[in-house]
């Protein structure tokens, strides 16, 4: 008896990745062991040659392609969600790639585990040229009710490794358009209501290059604050916030955002026996202590 093949929607939101967009598309259309795929590519106002590349690829591979003015990532994802038809929903950034059997593995996993709303897995880091730099096993990865681990930042779910049940994504209201870490926001909302599954397998290639959004550390800090604030009513919010404040003190200090980091000096001083805190205080703040 063969396994059923429910329709899987894959969305590629494209924006100024002319060097990588073809690789992203081909990683979806060339999936092995799975054929029932709906590929939707939306170019979000790219100013490079991405639209021309996608126009050619869409004619050759017959996927749905939309090109329009820039509206932002979350609006692009929600637009794709609204026109999608799949039972499962997965996203591939236009500079990332899927491993060749990602979809088959994840569909099989979710079909065998109907209690999981989302599944995620490990990733392979590649460089600008596509060469493999590192294979990353997700730290503390596990299945089940993982909301607390996610809000504490103890588990980081890599966006390109995920697949979610589309009906649950719709039930959750799609992607929040007032945040800039849309995946973390989504996994928090999903994991509060549903179990999340970890598939112990490398599922996607994450491209590490100079324009990655994760490298924009100050913007990430602001985005983390905004998302955490949504959970002020959570019973353990205050203790969780203190953990993040210490993390922000370390991160902002290391990256030279000294004035912003000083806002979390009180929490740092309460953790004075933390080795990293001691090193940071000596390196960045000792002169201020002496002057005062």
Q: What is the pLDDT of residue 289?
A: 55
Domains for the chain: give ranges and CATH numbers. Answer: 8-213 (3.90.550.10), 235-291 (no CATH)
Q: What is the pLDDT of residue 210?
A: 66
Ramachandran sector of residue 72 (left: φ over 0; alpha: ψ -120 to 50; beta: rest): left
Residue numbers in the chain where pLDDT is lower than 70: 1-2, 210-216, 287-292
Q: What is the pLDDT of residue 39?
A: 98
Helix or strand or coil: residue 47?
coil
Q: What is the pLDDT of residue 214?
A: 47
Q: What gap in Å lies between CA 279 and CA 292, rounded to an integer?
A: 19
Query: What's the pLDDT tens digit per position in 115-152?
Result: 999 999 999 999 999 999 999 999 999 999 999 999 99
Q: What gap in Å lies between CA 119 and CA 117, rounded to an integer?
A: 7
The whole-model pTM stands at 0.92
Report how far apart, in Å, the C-alpha atoms of 134 and of each of 97, 123, 137, 269 are: 15, 9, 10, 36
């Amino acid at each position: 008896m063969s396994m059923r093949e429910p329709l899987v929607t894959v969305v590629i939101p494209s924006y100024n990745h002319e060097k990588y967009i073809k690789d992203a598309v081909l990683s979806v259309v060339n999936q092995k062991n799975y054929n029932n795929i709906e590929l939707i590519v939306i170019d979000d106002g790219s100013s490079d040659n991405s639209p021309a590349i996608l126009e050619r690829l869409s004619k050759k591979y017959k996927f749905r392609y939309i090109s329009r003015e820039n509206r932002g990532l979350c609006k692009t994802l929600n637009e794709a969600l609204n026109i999608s038809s799949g039972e499962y929903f997965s996203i591939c950034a236009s500079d990332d790639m899927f491993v060749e059997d990602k979809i088959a593995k994840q569909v099989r996993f979710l079909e065998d585990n109907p209690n999981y709303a989302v599944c995620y897995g490990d990733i392979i880091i590649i460089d600008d040229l596509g060469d493999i730099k590192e294979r990353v096993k997700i730290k503390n990865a596990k299945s089940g009710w993982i909301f607390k681990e996610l809000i504490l930042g103890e588990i980081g779910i890599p966006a390109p490794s995920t697949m979610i049940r589309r009906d649950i994504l719709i039930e959750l209201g799609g992607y929040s358009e007032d945040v800039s870490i849309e995946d973390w926001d989504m996994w928090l909302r999903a994991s509060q209501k549903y179990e999340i599954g970890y598939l112990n397998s490398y599922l996607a290639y994450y491209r590490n290059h100079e324009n990655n959004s994760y490298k924009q550390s100050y913007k990430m800090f602001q985005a983390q604050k905004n998302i955490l604030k949504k959970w002020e009513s959570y019973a353990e919010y205050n203790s969780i916030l203190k953990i993040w404040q210490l993390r922000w003190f370390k991160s902002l200090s290391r990256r030279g955002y000294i004035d912003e980091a000083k806002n979390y000096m009180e929490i740092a001083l309460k953790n004075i026996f933390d080795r990293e805190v001691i090193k940071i205080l000596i390196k960045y703040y000792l002169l201020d202590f002496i002057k005062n």
